[in-house]
Amino acid sequence: MVANQKYNQTNQNNDFDAIVIGAGFSGLYMLHRLREAGLSTRVFESNSDVGGVWYVNRYPGARCDSDSIIYNYTFSEEILQEWTWTSRFPEQEEILSYLNFVANKLDLRRDIQFNTRIIAAHYDEINKRWRFQTEEGTSLTAKYFISGIGFLSTANIPKFKGLDSFKGDWYHTGNWPHEKVDFKGKRVGVIGTGSSGIQSIPIIAQEADHLTVFQRTPGYCTPARNHPYDPEFISKTKANYSKIRNHTRNSKGGYLDTLINNRSALDDTLEERQREYEKVWEKGGFSMQVTYNDLMVNPEANDTAAEFIRSKISEIVNDQEVAEKLKPKYYYGGKRPVLDTNYYETYNRENVALVDVKSAPIAEITPNGIRTTEHEYELDMIVFATGFDGMTGPLFKIDIRGKDGLSLKEKWVNGAKVKTYLGIANAGFPNMFMITGPQSPSALSNLPVSIEQHVEWIGDCIEYLRKKGVETIEANIDAEEAWSKHCKELADQSLYTKADSWYTGANIEGKPRSFLIYIGGVQAYRQKCDEIAVRGYDGFSLT
Ligand code: N01
């Protein structure tokens, strides 16, 4: 309890029913839901406005790869009808405008404290309240603690020797400046070829004098084929939103796509498969993943899709040596696939070079550029598209302590033994809820669908506790064990765990490997969560 004592002089005015961290998609809806239920709620946000990941990921080309018409809240018919998306895959700026529109419409800002980072959240067992501390030293208390910080909000800047000595400017895609970065006349280096790199590389290449891409692992890209929406499509969509919502909630990933062929890829001949894959390639989006029913479980079936994409790379890229370097060799989908716009075509430009830093890793950043173990590349600017410390990273940035002063980091053995109940709750951490926490469908789902489900489940749970006069809710250890085991068993049957990626923590040096996503799908997950609620919160202790 030592850790809790330093917060004992809490100001009475700083006491709330609920404190939510983060004002992105999760925190905004959580605030609305709890306010509607009559709880005094305060959201803390380290940025200066709403938006979460869409506030900070302003890199050139940043856009979402969920269809815009399902990348929104569905809880309010009024909001659905008043907002109009302009294209299939929305740009960062448009998503941020959408979140601002929602925040204004629901008058959310009055309960959000911006520019304020919560650095500690400790559970006070005697008073049964969470005690928080901001970076500036302000203390606050609340009965309920809800994390809306997401799982991709901690930028990963690899610890390259010499970064401080670099004479030019450098940026991380996940923490991009608000003013335009001017690449004109510059020799730019981009490190990283995940979603952020693949979206930004074609745009930077158009503007920069020269672009060098430092690739450690290539991605599997399929064309986005983004296009503006016409008024007829929009009015049809608006008339059909309840059907669309029903569809996404009862699907596997919360997307519009459904399984195209309910058979193995190996049941078709090579020619038949080629025809099927060509169709989805032309259509654009993520349909490749749902062309057959065994692409993510059967390595041989998976290789047919992988090989199709590899053959496309050879067709698009003129220089076959470059094409070979761009071809991924791991399972398709093992790392998150990427929707691209002119990505492979960019390597046909004269001002673009690809450097393989798997065979010759980056040794250091020098005052004039990047030195690999083979060569020094002179650069005026470096873009780190090196991703995030996913899943546990954002939670570990806060000193979260539950009963007996045990920290979440200790409980989860620095990420080596993460155990949660439903990805929402933790044994030993009463009245704490995580939105899209580890072991929920999170990254393998369309996030607004998962976020709405979590927020509504948590909101309903808190209302239930208040109605029944229950002071605390806490996950039981055996329920947590069983859920974590179930998540692992499902994941082990898939190919997701077989590649090195941020899904498994392999992107961060020294980070323990574990796959922390429930892969059973949003429909099965919702059903499970609802059953638990109906049984009076089975697997939780209510006191
Ligand atoms: O990050 P990533 P991201 N030396 O981790 C490389 C979501 N998102 O920001 O693969 C050299 O995917 C690393 O190499 P490797 C989405 O969920 C969505 O692109 O580890 N290279 C990799 O190539 C996505 O999956 C959207 O070998 C190094 C790259 O950096 C997630 O965010 C848009 C390195 C990082 O790729 C993360 O995407 C953007 C080193 N030391 C993001 N360290 C959309 O909705 C890392 N790398 C479209």
365 lines ligand 1 (CB under 6 A): no
Interval between CA 310 and ligand 1 midpoint (Å): 20
Helix (H, G, I), strand (E, B) or coil at 87: strand
357 lines ligand 1 (CB under 6 A): yes
Interval between CA 500 and ligand 1 midpoint (Å): 11
Choose which residue among 386, 446, 517 to substitute to test ligand 1 binding: the one with the highest number of ligand atoms within 8 A of its C-beta: 386
Per-residue pLDDT 10s for the chain (543 aa) are 233 333 333 345 799 999 999 999 999 999 999 999 999 999 999 999 999 999 999 999 999 999 999 999 999 999 999 999 999 999 999 999 999 999 999 999 999 999 999 999 999 999 999 999 999 999 999 999 999 999 999 999 999 999 999 999 999 999 999 999 999 999 999 999 999 999 999 999 999 999 999 999 999 999 999 999 999 999 999 999 999 999 999 999 999 999 999 999 999 999 999 999 999 999 999 999 999 999 999 999 999 999 999 999 999 999 999 999 999 999 999 999 999 999 999 999 999 999 999 999 999 999 999 999 999 999 999 999 999 999 999 999 999 999 999 999 999 999 999 999 999 999 999 999 999 999 999 999 999 999 999 999 999 999 999 999 999 999 999 999 999 999 999 999 998 988 899 999 999 989 999 999 999 999 999 999 999 999 999 999 999
As a whole number of Å, the CA-based R_g of the chain is 24
191 lines ligand 1 (CB under 6 A): yes
d(CA 455, CA 527): 15
Q: Are strands 15-21 and 139-147 parallel, antiparallel or unpaired?
A: parallel
CB 542 within 8 Å of CB 128: no
385 lines ligand 1 (CB under 6 A): yes
Minimal-distance CA residue to ligand 1 atom 3: 387
d(CA 373, CA 358): 10
Interval between CA 399 and ligand 1 midpoint (Å): 26
92 lines ligand 1 (CB under 6 A): no
Tokens standing for residue 317: 């890229």
Q: What H or E segment, with its residue span, contains residue 380?
A: none
d(CA 80, CA 30): 18
Interval between CA 221 and ligand 1 midpoint (Å): 13
152 lines ligand 1 (CB under 6 A): yes
- β-partners of residue 378 are 369
Give the nearest ligand 1 atom to 443 CA: 17
Closest CA to 452 of 521, 522, 537: 522
Scan for tokens 């030019």, then name that residue: 168
Residues 6+ apart with CB under 8 A from 35: 41, 111
d(CA 9, CA 49): 29
362 lines ligand 1 (CB under 6 A): yes
Interval between CA 391 and ligand 1 midpoint (Å): 14
Q: How many of the other CB atoms lie within 10 Å of CB of 249? A: 15
CB 154 within 8 Å of CB 46: no
Choose which residue among 152, 173, 215, 507 to substitute to test ligand 1 binding: the one with the highest number of ligand atoms within 8 A of its C-beta: 507
Give the pLDDT score at 498: 87
Give the pLDDT score at 13: 75
Interval between CA 319 and ligand 1 midpoint (Å): 25
CB 160 within 8 Å of CB 365: yes
Minimal-distance CA residue to ligand 1 atom 12: 194
Interval between CA 412 and ligand 1 midpoint (Å): 24
Interval between CA 501 and ligand 1 midpoint (Å): 8
CB 168 within 8 Å of CB 380: yes
Interval between CA 157 and ligand 1 midpoint (Å): 11
Q: Please state at what angle helix 447-468 crosses helix 241-249, rounded to 10 degrees.
A: 80
Interval between CA 137 and ligand 1 midpoint (Å): 34
56 lines ligand 1 (CB under 6 A): no
d(CA 524, CA 373): 48
Which phi and psi angles does 308 have, rounded to 5°? -60, -45
Give the nearest ligand 1 atom to 195 CA: 19
The H helix count followed by the E strand count for the chain is 17, 20
Helix (H, G, I), strand (E, B) or coil at 337: coil
Give the pLDDT score at 499: 87
What is the rounded end-to-end Cα distance, in angstroms, of the chain? 21
436 lines ligand 1 (CB under 6 A): no
Give the pLDDT score at 12: 56
Interval between CA 385 and ligand 1 midpoint (Å): 6
Closest CA to 448 of 94, 66, 102: 66
Q: How many of the other CB atoms lie within 10 Å of CB of 464? A: 15
Q: How far, in whole angstroms, is CA 254 from its chain's centroid? A: 14
196 lines ligand 1 (CB under 6 A): yes
386 lines ligand 1 (CB under 6 A): yes
Q: Are strands 187-191 and 210-215 parallel, antiparallel or unpaired?
A: parallel
Minimal-distance CA residue to ligand 1 atom 45: 64
Helix (H, G, I), strand (E, B) or coil at 450: helix
CB 17 within 8 Å of CB 1: no
The sheet with strand 369-372 has its strands ordered as 362-366, 369-372, 376-378
Q: How many of the other CB atoms lie within 10 Å of CB of 329? A: 9
CB 17 within 8 Å of CB 31: no
SS3 track for 100-126: HHHHHHCCCHHHEECCCCEEEEEEECC
Q: What H or E segment, with its residue span, contains residue 91?
A: none
d(CA 475, CA 542): 9
Q: What H or E segment, with its residue span, contains residue 272?
A: helix 270-283
DSSP 352-398: EEEEETTTS-EEEEETTEEEESS-EEE-SEEEE---B--THHHHHTS
Note the ipTM here. 0.99
Interval between CA 193 and ligand 1 midpoint (Å): 6
Own/partner pairs, 246-249, CB within 8 angstroms, 24+ separation? 248/70, 248/446, 248/449, 248/522, 249/449, 249/453, 249/522, 249/523, 249/526
Longest C-alpha distance within the chain, in Å? 73
Taking the CA of residue 383 as centre, how many other CA atoms within 13 Å lie in the half-sphere pointing to its CB?
Answer: 34
Closest CA to 296 of 329, 336, 326: 336
Interval between CA 197 and ligand 1 midpoint (Å): 7
Interval between CA 97 and ligand 1 midpoint (Å): 25
443 lines ligand 1 (CB under 6 A): yes
Residues 6+ apart with CB under 8 A from 31: 20, 23, 41, 43, 108, 111, 112
d(CA 111, CA 43): 6
502 lines ligand 1 (CB under 6 A): yes
Sort 375 into a burial class: Cβ within 10 Å, 0-12 / 13-18 / 19+: exposed
Give the nearest ligand 1 atom to 174 CA: 9
336 lines ligand 1 (CB under 6 A): yes
